[in-house]
Amino acid sequence: MQSTSIIQKNNKQVAIWLLVGIGMMIIQVLLGGITRLTGSGLSITEWKPIMGAIPPLNEQQWLEAFYKYKQIPQYQYINTHFTLSDFKFIFFWEWFHRLWARLIGVVFFIPFIWFVYKKKINRNMVKPLLILFLLGGLQGLVGWIMVASGLQDLVYVSHIRLAIHFILALSLLCYTAWVALHLLVPKNQYVYNTSLRKITITIMVILVIQLIYGAFMAGLKAATTAATWPTINGEWFPSTLTSYGNQHYRGFQIIINHPLVVQFIHRSIGYVLAVIILFGYYQAKKIKNQSLLLNKIYVLPLGMVLLQIILGITTVLYSANSTALLYLGIAHQFVAMILLLVCVCILHIIRSPKRIM
């Protein structure tokens, strides 16, 4: 049997590998955000998992790729003014997004084989890591299905499909983080408190809903429909719920398709989230515990949610400027992911008392 020190060393190596993967996944999600905000997602009309890693290498290949792009609705209805240079710009972001996904697969697969060969992964870790690979494969498949749907009759990928793709990416990110934390965080850092755990779970549920609406915001380009704050085009609540422009909405469509309503919900959830995080922070301060890790990180969500609100407001106010929207939108997305990962870490540390053996 392996000694405790060897097991700890192996766990640390595996955890570092997973943390590198987490860093790459964060970059991948940000590349997805750039791809969406630059309208690049439909620029590559084919899915070639292996050969697709090679971009056009000469003028003739570029013209062929551009010709294929000209056959889809996005070009025919939105981008008829595009030159080959314009096409190369949007092609780059979608290509880089796909290439980075392939690199993530390589970074996860090759070290996994090496760790198994060197017997650095114990039996208990095999199943979680296989689930991780399955989630990664599913994410790639959903990504292509999402793009393929936009090549037929849509000028942009559906914001609902975009949200599904985004949440699956975050699920993979959180699952990987959870597995890494299991290897890194010693049990003496756990805190057993039911009420604080419930508060943390509530925060995460609300945060996930907020992230879904963030994807709706990006997909519907909802920020540009009301570049004002604190009101929405002079109103505290959208006065017209059944229509916007030439679009008409009924029932459930109002809260998922109406740009102004989506922006109103996204703003409101942000304020609610800030209040609940503040409440959780004060509840955590009341608890006397020996977890230095929890004491250090529980203040982070409070500062980050305030930063998120500021970034959200600034993104809306400057949404008419495409360059500002890109930079601020990506910063907003980045802080949201870090906030989610911090909450995952907190949830991992806080356990229910019934788990004490």
Do 155 and 116 lie in a common domain? yes
In the structure encoding, which two tokens stand for residue 206, read together? 């609300």
Please give the Cα distance from 49 to 53 (Å, whole number): 7
**What is the DSSP code string of 94-117?**
HHHHHHHHHHHHHHHHHHHHHHHH
Among 157, 184, 211, the domain boundary falls at: 184
User: Which one-letter amino acid corresponds to residue 127?
Assistant: K
Domain encompassing residue 311:
187-357
Are the CB atoms for 223 and 217 separated by under 8 Å? Answer: yes
Which pLDDT belongs to residue 357? 36
Do 177 and 216 lie in a common domain? no
CA atoms within 13 A on the CB side of 285: 8
Do 240 and 132 lie in a common domain? no
Do 66 and 198 lie in a common domain? no
Please give the Cα distance from 68 to 226 (Å, whole number): 35
Do 131 and 244 lie in a common domain? no
Along the 357 residues of the chain, how does pLDDT read in single tens digits?
Answer: 456 677 778 888 888 999 999 999 999 999 988 988 888 877 887 777 666 678 888 999 899 988 888 888 888 878 888 899 999 998 999 899 889 988 998 898 898 888 888 888 877 777 888 888 888 878 777 777 766 665 566 556 778 888 888 898 999 999 999 999 988 888 888 888 888 899 999 999 999 999 999 999 988 888 888 899 999 988 898 888 888 877 888 888 888 889 999 999 999 999 999 999 999 888 887 776 666 777 778 889 999 999 999 999 999 999 989 889 999 999 999 999 999 999 999 999 888 876 443
Do 125 and 28 lie in a common domain? yes
Do 139 and 244 lie in a common domain? no
Question: What is the total count of domains within the chain?
Answer: 2
Which pLDDT belongs to residue 333? 93
Among 149, 184, 219, the domain boundary falls at: 184
Among 132, 159, 184, the domain boundary falls at: 184
Closest CA to 348 of 187, 115, 234: 187
